[in-house]
Each structure stands twice: as structure tokens, then as C-alpha cells.
Amino acid sequence: MANKTPSAVIQGVGNKDSGNFEIKTATSTSTKTTHHVQTVTVQAIANKKSDATDVKTLVKRLEDLEKLTDSYLRELQKNPRTNVSRKPVEINDYNLEFIRYNSKVYAGFKWAITAGTIDERHVQYVESKSKSLSKFFEPNGEGAFLKDPVTGNKIDFLHMAATLDGILSVSPIPDDLSGWAGDLQTAVIDLQRNTNDSNDLKILQKEAKKIIGGNSSFSTSDLLADIDAVNIANMIRENSKLHLSDAIEK
């Protein structure tokens, strides 16, 4: 049985490259952590050639997606047995699912539990109208990463969208496990592996500083995505009239 990593190792490390965000504790491994472990390598390889898009371009593409989703929902409303609205909250839900589908790594069974099932008819509808939108949100697409307009750092937008969908969805999975807490659990597993389950606090702290915010399963781009997802979720919860494009533009 692997030794438990002291929670003190993680304290104060998470805010190294993340402004006012600080991770306080480590939690135990969950099924979502397993999903992170399985997908993070694939995502890192897929994203290595991607350039970060600017906010203006991302907002424009999201607006295009929102228009198509509104048209799709309008078609669904023609069926009297279909209970759907065209309110921003529903459009956001469909669009976050669309982005998860195109990300390749956030569309599996475990993410369906975390953030809801994906309406593949909606995906097909959007693809039939605009293949460029689907490509934009693929792992090698222009929209895979977002350039922070203030710091210039790359933000993993696909990760942010999946985390945001998990937070906004009604799910048995705690909100934090959709983002930073799930990433942190994966980082703890990396820490144990990289230190051969050491109990030496100095060794653990040194390795933790390399992992969190470094070139790892809990990279700076993931950390920034987790923070932005929480902030955007709060904005949308406070104002149900906000589309995703509006929230990001703000």
C-alpha cells in the first residue's frame, strides 16, 4: 500500500503561478482522478502544436456556435413533446457539451456523470452547418488554448469548458472535482510516483513545486483554466441572461 502524502506538502504551492489562487488541501483519489490520469497524456500530446487564440476570436466563434444552437433548439421546439427552451442557460449547456465532444477527452462515460450526456444530434447539426466550428474546438484546433490578455499565458480552453460544464451541471460529483481538485488529486499521484512514495517532507515539497504549475498533469494552463471556470460559473449563476461568449468577453 502506498504511503499517504502529507497534506502540508501541497499547501502554499498552488499559488506559485496563479495570482490569488491557493490550494489548501489534498483529497483522496476518485474515479474522476482516474479519468484525468488516462486522458492527460493524450491531451498534452494533442495540444502541443496548438497556438493560443485571442479573446476576440474565441468570442466570435462562440457567438457563431450560439446562433447555430439557437436554431437547433428552435427546430426542437416544433415538436410539442420536446421540453426545451432557448434561454442562455440552455444554449450554454448545449455548447459546453459540444466543446466537450470535440475535445475528444471530456466526452466519455465518467464525464457524462460529471457534466451530463452529450446530445450528438446537436453535434451533427452544428457540423452540418459549419465544419470549421468543430475543427476550431478540436485538440489541435485554434480554440484549444486561449491567450490571457493580461499575462499572455496560455489557458487550456477545452479543459476550462469541461470544468465549467461540470460546475454548472446538476451532478453527484462535487464542483471542485471537475477542475482544480481533480487535477490536484492527479498531481498527488504524480508526486508519489516521482518520489517513490517518499515521506521526506523536503523531497516532497521540492517535487510538488515542479508538478503544480509545471510541465505536468497540473500545468499552469490547466490551473488557469480551473480558476477561470469558477469565475465564469459564478458570473453565469448571478446573471442567467449571460451567454458563454458574454461572460468570457467580460
Q: Provide the whole-model pTM.
A: 0.72
Give the model confidence (pLDDT) of 19-54 as tens digits.
333 333 333 333 333 344 334 433 443 444 448 999
pLDDT at site 176: 63
pLDDT at site 11: 34
In a domain, 88, yes or no: yes
Contacts 24+ apart (CB under 8 A), 67-71: 68/125, 68/126, 68/129, 68/130, 68/133, 69/94, 69/95, 69/98, 69/122, 69/126, 71/129
Helix (H) or strand (E) holding 115: helix 109-115
Task: Point out the least confidently predicted range of 38-42, 58-62, 237-241.
Answer: 38-42
Q: For residues 239 and 143, give the distance between their C-alpha atoms in angstroms, rounded to a whole number.
A: 25
CB-based burial of residue 135 (10 Å sphere; 0-12 exposed, 13-18 middle, 19+ buried)? middle
* Cell (9 digits) for 203: 523531497
The tally of CA atoms less than 13 A away on the side-chain side of residue 220 is 15
Amino acid at 115: A
* More reliable by pLDDT, 68 or 10: 68
Q: For residues 127 and 54, give the distance between their C-alpha atoms in angstroms, rounded to a whole number.
A: 23
- Give CA angle at 29 (230, 236), nearest 5°: 15
- Mapped onto helix, strand or coil, the DSSP state of residue 111 is helix
The tally of CA atoms less than 13 A away on the side-chain side of residue 169 is 26
In a domain, 19, yes or no: no
Q: Which one-letter DSSP state was computed for residue 7?
A: G
In a domain, 9, yes or no: no
In a domain, 186, yes or no: yes
- Mapped onto helix, strand or coil, the DSSP state of residue 192 is helix
Residue 53's DSSP bridge partners are 146
> What domain count does the chain have?
1
CB-based burial of residue 25 (10 Å sphere; 0-12 exposed, 13-18 middle, 19+ buried)? exposed
pLDDT at site 182: 67
Q: For residues 84 and 72, give the distance between their C-alpha atoms in angstroms, rounded to a whole number.
A: 11
* More reliable by pLDDT, 219 or 103: 103
Helix (H) or strand (E) holding 14: none
In a domain, 201, yes or no: yes
pLDDT at site 175: 62
Give the model confidence (pLDDT) of 165-221 as tens digits.
999 998 777 666 666 666 667 777 778 888 888 888 888 888 888 877 777 777 788
Residue 154's DSSP bridge partners are 147
Cβ–Cβ < 8 Å for 115, 178: yes
Give the model confidence (pLDDT) of 111-144 as tens digits.
898 899 999 999 999 999 999 999 999 999 999 9
In a domain, 4, yes or no: no
Q: Domain containing 42: what range?
A: 30-249
In a domain, 106, yes or no: yes
In a domain, 199, yes or no: yes
Q: For residues 150 and 134, give the distance between their C-alpha atoms in angstroms, rounded to a whole number.
A: 28
